[in-house]
Amino acid sequence: MSEPYWAALGGGSVDYKGAWAAGTAYAPGDVVRYAGVDFIAVNPSMGVNPGTATGIVIPTVPLVTALPGSPVDGDEVILTDSLTAGTYQWRFRYVAARATNKWVYIGGGAAVNTREGAGTTSSTSYTDLSDGSGPSLMYPVAGDYIVGWGAAMAAQGSASVQYMGYAFGSTVADDGHVCRQDATVTASVGRFERRALTPGAVAVVVKHRASSNSQACSSRWLSLEPIAVGG
């Protein structure tokens, strides 16, 4: 029976050699990390993959552009908007015991979009600014999200209040979900809130209005990060 080269490492204080490298010669007692698992060398080796040598199956999390249709409890995926040029990578775990939104977000970071140019509006109803719509972000599936948005708002020399909200699907922007600023002050404003976004596969789009006179905004931004999704 051949001697083993590697063994999976349990707890305890050790000196790590870092990530396993195929071109490095290892001696007994050397500890490396491979695919998120720590291994300790029990015989000299070079180029012997710890996962293959120990027969340990290293789990992989698939990168997908749509959530699986028939998941089981504990399944994990990384959801992206493109396999070749994704603007976000959100990792989810399927929790069957949840009543709704069974895909729970466990990491990846917020999707962010910005619009640096300046625009104005005199509309008292929510609309796009003069330099165009947005910023906007597409969310792939219905669920609970953290929405963040803000801008630099310039003073307009009047008592007009500036409002910045967002719309999605058939839900229009309204004064209950806004950043607002007295138009006599120049400042950057922003807000984050938890919001149920439905239906899926539509865009969140920033909108603006002024209570009177005009509004001027620049450096607009929008962010979106899931909490749990799946309806």
Token match 């006599």: residue? 184
Question: Of 200 and 61, which is predicted with more confidence?
Answer: 200
Tell me what pLDDT residue 39 has. Answer: 87
**pLDDT tens per residue across span 18-74:** 888 999 999 888 898 887 678 888 889 999 988 777 776 666 788 999 999 989 898
Question: Of 216 and 160, which is predicted with more confidence?
Answer: 216
Range(s) for CATH 2.60.120.40 in the chain?
A: 60-231
Q: Is the pLDDT of residue 154 over 90?
A: no
Tell me what pLDDT residue 220 has. Answer: 97
Alpha-carbon distance of 199 to 153, in angstroms, equals 31
* Residue 140 in tokens: 């792939």
CATH of domain 6-54: 2.10.10
Tell me what pLDDT residue 1 has. Answer: 45
**Which of 12-16, 34-38, 211-215, 222-226 has the highest average model confidence (pLDDT)?**
222-226
5 Cβ partners below 8 Å, 6+ apart?
41, 42, 43, 45, 48, 50, 53
Total-model pTM: 0.76
- Whether the Cβ atoms of residue 94 and residue 72 lie closer than 8 Å to each other: yes
- Whether the Cβ atoms of residue 224 and residue 105 lie closer than 8 Å to each other: no
* Residue 106 in tokens: 């466990």
Alpha-carbon distance of 85 to 6, in angstroms, equals 37
Tell me what pLDDT residue 155 has. Answer: 76
Tell me what pLDDT residue 10 has. Answer: 60
- Distance linking the first and last C-alpha atoms of the chain: 54
Other Cβ atoms less than 10 A from the Cβ of 134: the count is 19
Burial environment of residue 50 by CB neighbours within 10 A (0 to 12, 13 to 18, 19 or more): buried
Q: Is the pLDDT of residue 218 over 90?
A: yes
State the fold for domain 60-231: Jelly Rolls (2.60.120)
Range(s) for CATH 2.10.10 in the chain?
A: 6-54
**pLDDT tens per residue across span 141-150:** 999 999 999 9
**pLDDT tens per residue across span 105-153:** 999 999 999 999 899 998 999 999 999 999 999 999 999 999 999 999 9
Alpha-carbon distance of 74 to 47, in angstroms, equals 33
Tell me what pLDDT residue 5 has. Answer: 74
Give the model's confidence band at 93: pLDDT under 50 very low, under 70 low, under 90 confident, else very high.
very high
For 105, list phi and psi in degrees, rounded to 5: -75, 130
Tell me what pLDDT residue 51 has. Answer: 78
- Whether the Cβ atoms of residue 202 and residue 111 lie closer than 8 Å to each other: no
What are the distances in angstroms from CA 74 to CA 103, 121, 127?
10, 49, 43
Average pLDDT over residues 72-97: 94
Tell me what pLDDT residue 50 has. Answer: 86
208 strand-pairing partners: 127, 164
Alpha-carbon distance of 214 to 122, in angstroms, equals 4
What single letter denotes the amino acid at residue 123?
S
What is the C-alpha radius of gyration for the chain, rounded to an integer number of angstroms?
25
**pLDDT tens per residue across span 176-193:** 999 998 877 888 999 999
Tell me what pLDDT residue 139 has. Answer: 97
